Amino acid sequence: MTRSMRSTALYSATLAGLLLLSGCGKNEPAPASTPTPASTAPVAMTPPPAAGTAALPPAGAASVASAASVAAPAAMPTPLAVAKLTLGSAVNAEHQVTRASNSFATSDKTIYASVATEGSTGGATLNAKWSYLEGQGQLVSSISQSIATDGPAITTFKVQNPDLWPEGKYKVEISLDGKPVAKQDFQIRKS
């Protein structure tokens, strides 16, 4: 055997051994609180190599190692999307509207828009644009909030008026990263 063939054989054997160990988890200690499951599969024992010789993996070991090192594809995260928009005059500790309504009194000081989202994002911007639709229309408020979530979440926006609200038709529009995703019309009437 030439020197390069020996080196290639030694490198191959070393690589196959590392793949075998990484595939069966031998390089990581088991957690102390988790008992090791019993195995019913027969275990083949290979005697240690003689001093100064390279150990070759048993026949078929390379195919077992490569099969064990193939991982299942990671699940693609679901992109963030608005699932529901709810308006109301009160919210709970979880930011959910507790008294949903599309009609409010002129004396209501605060109106909430609860935006339920699904999916995940490392960072996105939700915006609520409140408008008074009577006459020529008028922007009441535009509020943005940055969110990061790995599942369902609720973001609440509020608009306040310390005085009486003008009677009429209003609208709130929700956008996600600048793209409109939900809107809801509502009215304000005398109580």
pTM of the predicted model as reported, rounded to 2 decimal places: 0.60
pLDDT band for position 64 (50/70/90)?
very low
Supply the pLDDT for residue 14. 61
CATH number assigned to the domain covering 81-189: 2.60.40.10
For the chain, domain boundaries: 3-68, 81-189
* 83 pLDDT more than 70: yes
Query: Contacts for 85-93 with beta carbons within 8 Å, 24 or more apart?
Result: 85/113, 85/114, 85/115, 85/116, 85/172, 85/174, 85/182, 85/183, 85/184, 86/113, 86/114, 86/116, 87/111, 87/112, 87/113, 87/114, 87/172, 87/184, 87/186, 88/112, 88/114, 91/156
Q: Per-residue pLDDT averaged across 20-44, rounded?
A: 43
* 76 pLDDT more than 50: yes
Cα torsion 113, 156, 99, 110: sign: negative
Q: Per-residue pLDDT averaged across 104-117, rounded?
A: 96
| Structural tokens at position 91 | 């919210």
Q: How far apart are CA 171 and CA 132, in angstroms?
A: 7
pLDDT band for position 191 (50/70/90)?
confident
Q: What is the pLDDT of residues 89-98, one digit of tens each?
A: 999 999 899 9
* 167 pLDDT more than 60: yes
Supply the pLDDT for residue 77. 76
Q: Per-residue pLDDT averaged across 150-162, rounded?
A: 94
Q: What is the mean pLDDT of the chain?
A: 77
* 82 pLDDT more than 90: yes
Q: How far apart are CA 31 and CA 47, in angstroms?
A: 28
* 178 pLDDT more than 80: yes
What is the percentage of the chain residues whose pLDDT exceeds 70? 61
| Structural tokens at position 1 | 């055997």
